[in-house]
Amino acid sequence: MILDEEAEDDVCYVCTFLGYVAAQTNNYVSDIVHQLSEQEIARQLKFAHINHCLTFEHAASIFLRRNPIEFGNRRYNDSQQPTFLDMGEIYTVLVTRYLARYKDASVEKAIRVILQSDLSNCLNDFSI
């Protein structure tokens, strides 16, 4: 599956947003995705163009009221960690490449597979 520009922007927003939520809740992105249903990922994609107009703080407060995410014990080292915006861009590239390779995969599945992968955890441990 090849994404059009709008769909790719939505994927980028969702991946970036989930990275933001992970940082705010002291989790890895994979921990956040693990706690979400595929329907919730689809919902985030559906409303990405609306949530994009909100601050991440506001969107996250709405998201966390709807999805009670358990807080983790991961500590972020801001001086060594790429920003959640940088990570969102990297995840978008990986998701689009996954979709190009596995043409029958849904976008929601691609996000789940990439963000829960060992590669995602390695990228999240950038400071090591």
| 36: containing domain | 5-124
Please state the domain count of the chain: 1
Q: Is 40 exposed, middle or buried (0-12, 13-18, 19+ CB in 10 A)?
A: middle
pLDDT for residue 122: 82
pLDDT for residue 80: 62
pLDDT for residue 128: 40
- Sequence-distant (6+) residues with CB within 8 A of 39 are none
pLDDT string in tens for the chain (128-residue length): 789 999 999 999 999 999 999 989 999 899 999 999 999 999 999 999 999 999 999 999 999 999 999 898 877 665 666 788 888 999 999 999 999 999 999 999 999 999 999 888 888 776 44
Please indicate, yes or no, whether the overall pTM of this predicted structure exceeds 0.95.
no
